[in-house]
Amino acid sequence: MHHKHHHYALLILNLLEVLFTAYLVIDGGSSALCLAGSDCASVQNSAYGSFFGVKLSILGLITFILLLGIFLATEKYQWMYLLFFTGAVLGFIFALYFLSIQFFILHKFCSSCILIDSIAIAIFIITLFWSRPFRQAVHKIV
């Protein structure tokens, strides 16, 4: 993937993460984005839907806004790409964790949550495999 295409893909995916997560925060769990057959409210309001009493959608929104800001800063400060990559790795790990909870513990599915987790996984994959700025930043450190 050409550097500009990779950059635009990551920008769009990061913006979508912020928009979809903001919608979940505003929607409060009833989720008009929830597809038929999924159980978004049950997943989002389960024991796994908050961390120390704070809804995961709020924590996710804060995290995705920070990740977007870091991504935008990589244009000026290439060293921040490693910070962005770290965020992408953490996003990937948490996405797998949250998907596992839905599939193996709750046996209930939130289509909007799955969408957000899938975007986090895509951000990680693009950053890892097609990111020339990431490889250049690593080579400067190593």
61 compared with 132, residue with greater pLDDT: 61
pLDDT digits (tens, 9 = 90+) for 128-137: 887 666 666 6
Question: Helix 3-27 to helix 132-141 angle, to the nearest 10 degrees?
Answer: 100
Measured in Å, how far apart are the chain's first and last C-alpha atoms?
A: 24
Q: How far apart, in whole angstroms, are the C-alpha atoms of residue 41 and residue 108? A: 10
Radius of gyration for the chain, computed over Cα atoms and rounded to the nearest angstrom: 16
pLDDT tier for residue 107 given thresholds of 50, 70 and 90: very high
Task: Report which secondary-structure segment, H or E, holds 50.
Answer: strand 50-51
Q: How far apart, in whole angstroms, are the C-alpha atoms of residue 134 and residue 129? A: 9
pTM, two decimal places? 0.87
